[in-house]
Amino acid sequence: MTEQNLSELLRAYKAEKLSETDVIAAMKKFSLATESFGFATIDHGRELRQGFPEVVYSPGKTKEQLKIIFKNLYERSNGNLIASRATREQFNFLREEIPEAVFDETARMIYVDRDKSFVRDESKKILVVTAGTSDVPVAEEARLTAYLWGNAVSTCYDCGVAGIHRLFAHLDEILSANVIIVVAGMEGALASVIGGLTSRPVIAVPTSIGYGASFNGLAALLAMLNSCATGVGVVNIDNGFGAGVLASKINRSF
């Protein structure tokens, strides 16, 4: 449902052409609205239910499929749009239809930033911290996701526990953040350290960065799940997008 759909419903209700029951039924119908293309069923009601249109996961989709899905969402929603884990080839093909689309090489994300209703509150900032430079792609996915969901976001990169004095240089930023996303591979210890420094929620993102015994991020995942610091939640390995969304929802709640 778009703002235009809502306006039409409200005008009809105001003109006594629709009852309150009719309006509620129509909104429920819109909130569950889908459109099928055979290879994909697009959830057009997600923007109404969750405040953000459906996000497209790009791997496994042909460039033609991605363009059809993204273009349909572009035309039938008002909010910002995201196609995650996209390639330059997919973007170049899609841009022919949607010149407004942008590709972020580091975050591996195609996006459209068009929602003017967001007021990014600097007093409720989300902070994204990485242990190392190699963790930055996942962190950038989290940062850009949180930004497109309407948050003020800042970053502190390459300040892991191997040189912990680098982290303490950012203590003011850590203590003033409303939600903190910690992105770390190797042994994943940074999440516990930051969790012990702040009273704010910490979202830990294990990455697949590390040598053999890191098991492609499993070691960091288990370390973060076993954190003795309180208030640390953990998302899946390399799931910067999930961390950005979760941080946004937490940020809206208090």
Kindly report the CATH number assigned to the domain that includes residue 235.
3.40.50.1970
**How far, in Å, CA of 103 to CA of 95, rounded?**
9
Q: Is residue 172 part of a domain?
A: yes
Range of the domain at 60: 32-112
Is the domain of 144 the same as that of 56?
Answer: no
- Decide: helix, strand or coil at residue 223: helix
Q: How far apart are CA 183 and CA 210, in angstroms?
A: 13
Q: Which of 81, 112, 143 is the last residue of a domain?
A: 112
25 in any annotated domain: no
Domain C-terminal end among 59, 83, 112 = 112
Residues 164 and 187 in one domain: yes
Number of domains within the chain: 2
- Among residues 77, 93, 112, the one where a domain terminates is 112
Beta strand 179-184 pairing with 126-130: parallel
Q: Are residues 195 and 134 in the same domain?
A: yes
Say what the pLDDT of residue 13 is: 84
Is 17 inside any structural domain?
no
This prediction's pTM: 0.85
Same-domain check for residues 46 and 161: no
Question: What is d(CA 221, CA 130) in angstroms, rounded to the nearest whole number?
Answer: 15
Is the same domain home to 207 and 133? Answer: yes
150 plus 212 within the same structural domain: yes
- Per-residue pLDDT 10s for the chain (254 aa) are 556 667 777 888 888 888 888 877 777 666 657 777 788 878 777 777 777 888 999 999 999 999 999 999 998 888 899 999 999 999 999 998 999 999 999 999 999 999 888 888 888 999 999 999 999 999 999 999 999 999 999 999 999 999 999 999 999 999 999 999 999 999 999 999 999 999 999 999 999 999 999 999 999 999 999 999 999 999 999 999 999 999 999 998 86
- Same-domain status, 141 and 186: yes
Instruction: Say yes or no: 173 and 102 in one domain.
Output: no
Helix (H, G, I), strand (E, B) or coil at 36: strand
